[in-house]
């Protein structure tokens, strides 16, 4: 369970990104976060694994209080349970797909083994299994930077699965993909969410896709939550609150 209690975030330069956010997220939910660029979506997601520290209120993730005292070894152990997916995939270039997936397990091996890239057979099996689950096993020994965008995001998903997380945070996971590939990647998220009961929080620009795949939608405007409820209840009036104006056909992408 993820619990936000009056959580706020002010960046060192004085920018207020989030104001008094209250949220309760149960294990296994599939949540889409919508809102304009700069509304605070990325900040909200990055607070959960402390890529950015909380500056106000209290954030609890699966029983761990994410505050200033969570540092070093404890922080790293905490992050082990949270996967992260990025808009630009963030794969390691010039190296194989398998090595990219194995990298998710580097936290558990000694430094010299990490340096030499020595992974156990168990790690390799887990990583290959993750690739198989996403239907991209045949690319295991290809170079990661030679794949298409959709394949890269799948590898990133496999990497996250190999990490065996309870929560996956996805920052604009399909924003740089074409509509068809984006739908496929969203289906992968859906599958992972259902089969492995992993909580998914995804920032989305495509409202239609957010409504189609997520079970719950959180709308953010200027650092505040303006909507939090089931995807089925989202209507134009709500979207107007989130985006500050009504969405037209031009804003909705057809699939």
Partner 1 sequence: MEKLKDYVKNIGKYIKGIFIPEQIIIQDGIVVSPPRSVAPYVVIAFVFVSYFAIQATEFSIFEVIYKLFGIDILNNHFEGPWRAMTGWEYLSRYFFPIDYGYWREVISPLVDTIQMSFLGSFIGSAIALPVAFLASSNINKNKFTLTSARAVLTIFRTIPMIIYAVIFVWVFGKNVLPGTMAIGLFTFSIVAKMLFEKIETIDLGSYEAIESTGASKGKSIVTAVLPQILPSFYSMSLYAFEINVRYAAILGYVGAGGIGLILQSNMADLDLTNRVFTMLFFIWIVVISIETISRFLRRRLA
**Where do contacts with partner 1 occur on this chain (CB under 8 A)?**
49, 51, 75-84, 86, 88-95, 99, 103-104, 106-107, 111, 114-115, 156, 159, 163
Find the shortest distance in angstroms from Cβ 91 to partner 1: 6
Find the shortest distance in angstroms from Cβ 104 to partner 1: 5
Alpha-carbon distance of 186 to 204, in angstroms, equals 11
Cβ–Cβ < 8 Å for 253, 179: yes
Cβ–Cβ < 8 Å for 209, 174: yes
| Residue nearer to partner 1 on the CB measure, 77 or 240 | 77
| Residue nearer to partner 1 on the CB measure, 50 or 216 | 50
The two structure tokens encoding residue 89: 């995939």
Residue 91 contacts by C-beta under 8 Å, 6 or more apart in sequence? 100, 144, 145, 152, 155, 156, 159
Find the shortest distance in angstroms from Cβ 219 to partner 1: 25
Alpha-carbon distance of 255 to 247, in angstroms, equals 17
| Residue nearer to partner 1 on the CB measure, 32 or 161 | 161
| Residue nearer to partner 1 on the CB measure, 122 or 235 | 122
Find the shortest distance in angstroms from Cβ 95 to partner 1: 4
Find the shortest distance in angstroms from Cβ 52 to partner 1: 12
| Residue nearer to partner 1 on the CB measure, 49 or 183 | 49
Residue 192 contacts by C-beta under 8 Å, 6 or more apart in sequence? 157, 161, 168, 198, 200
């Amino acid at each position: 369970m993820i619990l936000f209690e009056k959580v706020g975030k002010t960046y060192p330069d004085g920018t207020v990104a989030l104001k008094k956010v209250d949220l309760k997220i149960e294990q296994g939910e599939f949540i889409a976060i919508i809102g304009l660029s700069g509304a605070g979506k990325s900040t909200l997601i990055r607070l959960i694994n402390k890529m950015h520290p909380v500056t106000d209120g209290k954030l609890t993730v699966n029983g761990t209080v994410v505050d200033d005292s969570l540092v070093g070894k404890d922080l790293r152990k905490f992050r082990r349970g949270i996967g992260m997916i990025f808009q630009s995939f963030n794969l390691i270039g010039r190296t194989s797909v398998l090595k990219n997936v194995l990298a998710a397990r580097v936290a558990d091996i000694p430094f010299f083994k990490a340096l030499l890239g020595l992974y156990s057979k168990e790690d390799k099996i887990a990583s290959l299994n993750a690739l198989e689950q996403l239907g991209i096993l045949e690319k295991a020994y290809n170079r990661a930077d030679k794949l298409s965008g959709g394949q890269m995001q799948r590898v990133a998903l496999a990497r996250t699965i190999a990490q065996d997380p309870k929560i996956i945070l996805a920052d604009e996971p399909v924003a740089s993909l074409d509509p068809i590939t984006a739908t496929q990647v969203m289906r992968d998220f859906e599958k992972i969410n259902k089969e492995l009961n992993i909580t998914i929080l995804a920032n989305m620009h495509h409202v239609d896709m957010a409504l189609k795949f997520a079970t719950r939608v959180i709308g953010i405007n200027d650092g505040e939550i303006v909507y939090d409820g089931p995807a089925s209840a989202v209507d134009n009036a709500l979207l107007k609150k989130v985006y500050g104006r009504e969405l037209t056909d031009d804003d909705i992408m057809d699939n």
